[in-house]
Each structure stands twice: as C-alpha cells, then as structure tokens.
Structure 1
Amino acid sequence: MLLKKQTEVYALGQHIAMSAHKARRVIDQIRGRSYEETLMILELMPYRACYPIFKLVYSAAANASYILGSNEANLIISKAEVDEGTTVKKLKPRARGRSYPIKRPTCHITIEVTDVSLPKYVPRTFLDWKENSLERLKKPKSKKKYTTVTYHTMYSNGGVWDKK
C-alpha cells in the first residue's frame, strides 16, 4: 500500500485591487512553467497585475522551501487560479445633485507550486501500519459528558426578602 506524500504548497492573495479578468491574462501565461522561468516572465511583462502575482509566486516558493525543504530549481507552477472577490462600491457626486456609482473590483489569486524532485507516493511499511492501528485502538470511542444539576430555591438564596 502506498501513502500519498505532500509535494504541493500554495500561497494565497486575497482582496487584490484589480479585476479578475486582468489578472487571468497574466496567470494564463505562467501556468505549468518552472519557477525561474515564471519570475523572468513576470519581470518583463508590462501589465500591472504582474507585481502582486510575482510576490505570490515568490511567497509560494518560500513556503515550499520551508515546508518541504525543496530547492527553487525543482519547482513548477502546478496550479494558478483567479477568483473574483468583493466589489468595493462608492458614490461619486456629479452635477445637479446626482451621484455616479464607482465599482472597484477585487480578486483572490491562488498559486500552487509542486516539487518535481520529490516522489508523490511513498511505500507504506508494516511498522507504520501497526503503529497507526495501535493509536486508533488507544483513542476513546466516545466522550462521556457529566452534567451537574443544581437546585435553587428562594429559601437557599436568602428568599424574596433579602435585599442586597
């Protein structure tokens, strides 16, 4: 039997002040590429969305080196997606007492990097299986909750006549 090993790490940027459509234009260019190639592409592209995406890719690589202990040369962008966030709505005063709505869209960007040098599955040994089964046996099946019932009468609290 094989155990699935974690080889993916992600970075999430929320409420980034730009349209999801404009961010997707850049994200589609970097999906599936290596980490170093992605950084070069993002530095040279002329779009405003490149800088927050660059920071997220850099953060995802830092997460991978910290969590997985992997090298940046072995990382690829396995998943990159953009979701629409909340829209900030304001009213701008216009001529003759009228108002004009201003909508500032935001987006949520998720960058997931995968280390290609790490194996996805590791073989499960008999000792691992035995330790896991013993741990499952030690855990209690259900927790008993005891409740204490207290009775209050008007005489035990000093009665109706007790004014504090």
Structure 2
Amino acid sequence: MSTPTITKIGSKAIARYVRMSPHKVRRVLDQLRGRTYREALIILRFMPYRACEPITKVLRSAAANSEHNQGINPADLVVYEAYADQGPSLKRFRPRAQGRAYQIRKPTCHITISVAEAKSEE
C-alpha cells in the first residue's frame, strides 16, 4: 500500500452529544486515521461495533462538505484527523435496597473527522 501525500486540507464534520462512550468510539477511529475515504467506508461497513453508524455519518458529511465547499472529488480524500472528545454525562439514578439510590452516568461524546485531498505516490 502506497502512502498518500496530502496536497490540500479539505473539510471537517462534527457530531456532538452522541450517546456513546468516547473510549468505545476511539477504538473504531484508530482504525480509520490515514486511510482513504473508500477504505474507511469499507472498514466501517464490516466492523461489528455500534459506534460505526455515527462515525459513518460524520465521515460521509465531511466528504460532502469538501465536495460542496471546495470541489474536491471524494475518491481523492484521506482521513486526515479523527478523534472523539468527551461530552457531558447524563446522570440518572437507580433505586437500591433500603431507600438508597445509586448514580448511573450515561456518557456522551463529540466525534470530529477531518478529510484532506491526497495524491497517491505510485
């Protein structure tokens, strides 16, 4: 596999307040960084994780942004940056024995993907 050289920074897309742990999302994003747009879509289609669905939406949005705003062909795109930051946790309470209550934290995350135009060296 030849390494593509980035010629022009494309666009980025952000999904905010995704109801998923950022730790679980990062496990998928680590597989995409540096891949071409098409490779990333194929990887996401066959990975068995729930995080693949929102990541696919963000990746397609970033590609659409670069195509619409800068006229870059999606076939020439590479995943330049991909990261997940922690969002606010939803706090819920579970009743326990003898009138007590335990706190349950439901994490959220912000998914950011940047794509760039690349020329492959062959």
Give the TM-score band, short-chain normalised.
0.7 to 0.9
Counterparts of 1:44 and 1:90, CA distance in 2: 33
Taking only aligned residues, the RMSD between alpha carbons, in angstroms, comes to: 1.4
Tell me the residue number matched to 1:51: 53
Q: CA deviation at 1:100?
A: 1.3
State the Cα distance separating 1:72 from its structure 2 match: 1.0
Whether the 8 Å CA contact 2:28–2:52 is kept in 1: the answer is yes
The list of structure 1 runs, each at least 4 consecutive aligned residues, that deviate by more than 4 angstroms after superposition, is none
Counterpart in 1 of 2:3? none
Partner of 1:32: 34
Q: Give the SS at the match of 2:28.
A: helix
* One-letter amino acid of the structure 1 residue matched with residue 64 of structure 2: A
What displacement does 1:99 show? Answer: 0.5
Q: Which of 109, 112, 119 pairs up with 1:110?
A: 112
Partner of 2:4: none
Offset at residue 6 of structure 1 (A): 6.2
Provide the TM-score with structure 1 as the length reference. Answer: 0.66
- Shift of residue 95, structure 1, vs aligned partner: 2.4
CA shift, 1:41, in A, is 0.2
Q: Which runs of 5+ in 2 are unaligned?
A: 1-6
Counterpart position of 1:67:
69
* CA–CA distance in structure 2, aligned partners of residues 76 and 26 of structure 1: 16
Q: Is the 8 A contact 2:93 2:103 kept in 1?
A: yes
Q: Where does 1:97-136 land on structure 2 (aligned, <5 Å)? A: 97-116=99-118
AA of the residue aligned to 2:16:
Q
Gaps of at least 5 residues in structure 1 are 118-164
Q: Which has the higher contact order (CA 8 A, sep 6+)?
A: 2
Q: Is 2:25 aligned against 1:23?
A: yes
Deviation track 1:64-99 (CA, whole Å, cap 9, x = no partner) reads 110011111100000011111111111122222111
Determine helix, strand or coil for the equivalent of 2:44: helix
Residues 83 and 113, structure 2, Cα contact 8 Å, conserved in 1: yes
1:13 to 2, 12, 15: 15
Contact 2:8 2:118 in 1 (8 A): no
Greater strand fraction, Structure 1 or Structure 2 = 2
Q: Is the 8 A contact 1:7 1:68 kept in 2?
A: no
1:84 corresponds to 2:86: yes
- Residue 138 of structure 1 corresponds to which residue in structure 2? none
**Structure of higher CA gyration radius:** 1
Once residues 71 and 13 of structure 2 are traced to their aligned partners in structure 1, the CA distance between those partners, rounded to angstroms, is: 16
